[in-house]
Structure 1
């Protein structure tokens, strides 16, 4: 679960229910996928409640001449009702009506339109018509609807629409509401690299503080390869940008989102980031360690700690020592998964003696289940770091 993904789902749900985000704050403890399924269920429920009535109205629309239907849509029918009737009409019939409606009217209807139907309908629209609708949604700051439909457009149309979105902050807002990681990845690849670089620099602008989490969300929600590409690009922008990202992650407690990004960086970039003065601050290290334990991110954490130097490693050891014994089991399991025993033992040797004794018991349980070669390897490491297992082989 990530805070940013949950936040996006709550906003989408509030948009559907026409309530404030604060009224749905009680949902923050749920997983984003659960919220997503709940949102889809709400949409289905809203559609099913009046389905017989809308099906009946759709039969009338099919019978009436197009000009009269257009008049009714313009003058008398609520956009929500039009969107529900549209479900029961053929795509061809819909377009015959839609082509006579203004971009403002179509934008209002698109807020409630079933995405599956919208995908078919958009195939009939010209690029100019789509851009007009996008312009209205942009003026209305309806990034939720724009994010919902952007993945349905061709690359050429996306590039054209992106040109009318002049502010990189608005691009980040749109990307924040795109449904899937694959769609976000594709959008990033379609956009010019210069615009991505400009978006990264937003993190250094205090005047755009409210947009910072959207940038971190973009870096968090993309796939592994793109995480590394975009993360390395951020590092190339200089220490000010990375320090601003670290500070934003700390202020909003978004380390569960950002730790996997750091773990995806290239070796050179990881070494650079892991040894910045900002990541030697005790309170920041404590927040990162807490997030790693809370969200089962120890495999990522050990990758990052592997590049840290003494001062930062000591801060990590001190932070771990303040958590209950269960954390040591989590770290041992992560060490086994990633074969990160050397960095783990280096952290253990920096802990208070009572914590080292707890580690010895946990390590002993692991070592008794290992083959002879692995046992001997770990035994040598224990000797090197002056950590002695509780039993002998």
Structure 2
């Protein structure tokens, strides 16, 4: 189980570093906990690298009307830099700005965000916008990014996002979620048909799926077993 769980952590680390997973193959024997710690260190280092410059941009944006800042953000800054700036903005100002950004740009920006740094912003966003951005991420196959945000939005929001998703997609999403307890309330809100699809898809993920199932609440495990 450890090797396969480490594989998932390497996928997450590669995403954080914007590199191909093959470049991190030498970490395959590293424990999942150590890889998770390394990911946190990398995330902090990448954010801190240009922190003073990013804070300067955030200060400038505060002096401009939100509509003007939004236009500059989409045309001149791009998703990656915008994500860095968002992480240091006042949550109220950032949420106001987000309301002027196009949903497709917010989805691209989300790929570069650390959800733990923008949880306050997400809490202030209109739920319909959060759901639309989430569905765009799902449609584009950004399941890892979506998994990171699943831990900082209410279960009912996650359920709206995955409405219509296949059992295989939801299982892959669950495998990428850092805290398995987040999965339980989402499973509780899914139809029996979808949960049955998830149960069927676990066979394709072997021991990684077994590890996830073992971490779920007893009620969730029992329901999956009854629908297998």
With normalisation by structure 2, the TM-score equals 0.90
Distance 2:174 2:89 in 1: 31
CA gap of 1:53–1:226, structure 2 versus 1, over 3 A, is same
Distance 1:20 1:43 in 2: 16
Are the aligned partners of 1:219 and 1:231 in contact in 2 as well (CA < 8 Å)?
A: no
Per-residue Cα deviation, 1:93-116 (whole angstroms, up to 9, x for no partner): 001110011111101111122312
Per-residue Cα deviation, 1:276-299 (whole angstroms, up to 9, x for no partner): xxxxxxxxxxxxxxxxxxxxxxxx
Per-residue Cα deviation, 1:55-110 (whole angstroms, up to 9, x for no partner): 11111111122222111111010211111111221111001110011111101111
User: What's the C-alpha RMSD, in Å, of the aligned pairs?
Assistant: 2.3
Distance 2:209 2:121 in 1: 28
Q: Do structure 1's residue 202 and structure 2's residue 201 form an aligned pair?
A: yes
- Counterpart of 1:172 in structure 2 is 171
Give 1:129 deviation, angstroms: 1.1
- 5+ residue gaps, structure 2: none
Specify the SS of the correspondent of 1:77: helix
Give 1:124 deviation, angstroms: 2.1
Distance 1:66 1:227 in 2: 47
Per-residue Cα deviation, 1:13-32 (whole angstroms, up to 9, x for no partner): 11121211111111010000
Give 1:235 deviation, angstroms: 7.1
Distance 2:50 2:111 in 1: 18
Q: Which runs of 4+ in 1 moved over 6 A?
A: none
- Counterpart of 1:38 in structure 2 is 38
Q: Please say which structure displays the higher CA radius of gyration.
A: 1
CA gap of 1:227–1:112, structure 2 versus 1, over 3 A, is same
With normalisation by structure 1, the TM-score equals 0.54
Q: Do structure 1's residue 89 and structure 2's residue 80 form an aligned pair?
A: no
Distance 1:86 1:139 in 2: 24
Give 1:198 deviation, angstroms: 1.8
Distance 1:183 1:224 in 2: 11
- Counterpart of 2:182 in structure 1 is 183
- Counterpart of 1:292 in structure 2 is none
Give 1:236 deviation, angstroms: 6.3
CA gap of 1:121–1:229, structure 2 versus 1, over 3 A, is closer
Specify the SS of the correspondent of 1:101: coil
CA gap of 1:189–1:228, structure 2 versus 1, over 3 A, is closer
Are the aligned partners of 2:195 and 2:224 in contact in 1 as well (CA < 8 Å)?
A: no
Aligned residue runs from structure 1 range 1-393, under 5 A: 2-165=2-165, 167-202=166-201, 212-213=204-205, 216-223=207-214, 226=217, 230=221, 233-234=224-225, 237=228
Distance 1:153 1:68 in 2: 28
CA gap of 1:225–1:91, structure 2 versus 1, over 3 A, is closer
Distance 2:94 2:62 in 1: 10
Are the aligned partners of 2:131 and 2:161 in contact in 1 as well (CA < 8 Å)?
A: yes
CA gap of 1:97–1:234, structure 2 versus 1, over 3 A, is same
Are the aligned partners of 1:219 and 1:227 in contact in 2 as well (CA < 8 Å)?
A: no
Are the aligned partners of 2:144 and 2:176 in contact in 1 as well (CA < 8 Å)?
A: yes
Per-residue Cα deviation, 1:304-344 (whole angstroms, up to 9, x for no partner): xxxxxxxxxxxxxxxxxxxxxxxxxxxxxxxxxxxxxxxxx
CA gap of 1:3–1:228, structure 2 versus 1, over 3 A, is farther
Higher relative contact order (CA 8 A, sep 6+): 2
Are the aligned partners of 2:213 and 2:221 in contact in 1 as well (CA < 8 Å)?
A: no
